[in-house]
Amino acid sequence: MALKYISNSGDKVITTREISDSKNIPYDLLSKIMQTMKNENILSSNQGSSGGYSLSKRPDEIPLYNLISAIDGNVNIAECLKESPVKDCSMTDNCSIKSPVMLLQKEVEDLFKRKTISDFV
Amino acid sequence: MALKYISNSGDKVITTREISDSKNIPYDLLSKIMQTMKNENILSSNQGSSGGYSLSKRPDEIPLYNLISAIDGNVNIAECLKESPVKDCSMTDNCSIKSPVMLLQKEVEDLFKRKTISDFV
DNA sequence: CTAAATAGGACTATGTTAGTCCACATTCAA
DNA sequence: TTGAATGTGGACTAACATAGTCCTATTTAG
């Protein structure tokens, strides 16, 4: 919703406060999410009194996949598919359904890579 | 993995113990999952000393969607899309990205409905 | 009868994540 | 030069979801 808001605001720099007020999203929470998106290069920021955020790229150049990875850390259908699984499954090495699961993972990834922020504005 | 095991065992009735031993899955845990799949009509069961489980349908007639709904209760990309959201989002009614999110939900659903257990055996 | 199954309720431990709070750094403009 | 408006970042909490366990029925073939 925040990215949509920014997308629809032309080239203006947008403050967290403005989005928070306009969409009734708790300021502190949104603030954290904006920071995360900044750190993951989805947003650019300007500090200071007339600062704020803007998209780092055009909406159609930001895959949904990137946004979700940025915020959730990954886009995986199963824990065992994460790059660094918190808890590795005791049977990862001889999992009998590993390859079809990985195929499905790939298909989900592709879907989320085809979608971009412009599909949500 | 359990469904694959049963699928590959012909028409024999398969016990939880057999799968548990063969795949090194904790018996009690697998037991719960088998019960859930039974209750959700993915498996049929026979009680008693020569009892066990069998698929209620052919593998290609069981969509992955049904399996996941059975076990997780839903196949949703967001809490707000559940039939009975545990916590309803304060902005559900004026969510600015509701319709594209629902479209994506539909696409994910379709993918999981196209996949069946036979894709995993 | 009894052994081998499924059935099911209650419980625990662990991890995740939304959400909050506070102190700090940066910038602009009066 | 100062103060208000902004982003930055760390630490913390509360709530919830879920894997996993334990214990006690119930069913049924031999």
Structure pTM?
0.92
- Residues of chain A found within 8 Å of residue B23, distances taken between Cβ atoms: 91, 96
Min Cα separation B48/chain A (Å): 29
The answer to whether the beta carbons of residues A11 and B107 sit under 8 Å apart is no
- Of the candidates A2, A9, A10, the one whose C-alpha atom is nearest the C-alpha of residue A38 is A2
Handedness of CA A19, A23, A24, A25 (dihedral sign): negative
pLDDT tens-place string over residues B47-76: 999 999 999 999 999 999 999 999 999 999
Of B4, B101, B108, the CB nearest to A97: B4
C-alpha to C-alpha distances, A8 to A2, A52, B29, B41, nearest whole angstrom: 10, 15, 50, 48
Question: What average pLDDT does range A30-59 have in this prediction?
Answer: 97
- Residues of chain A found within 8 Å of residue B64, distances taken between Cβ atoms: 104
Q: How many CB pairs under 8 A join A and B?
A: 44
DSSP 8-class letter at A14: B
pLDDT tens-place string over residues A109-119: 999 999 999 99
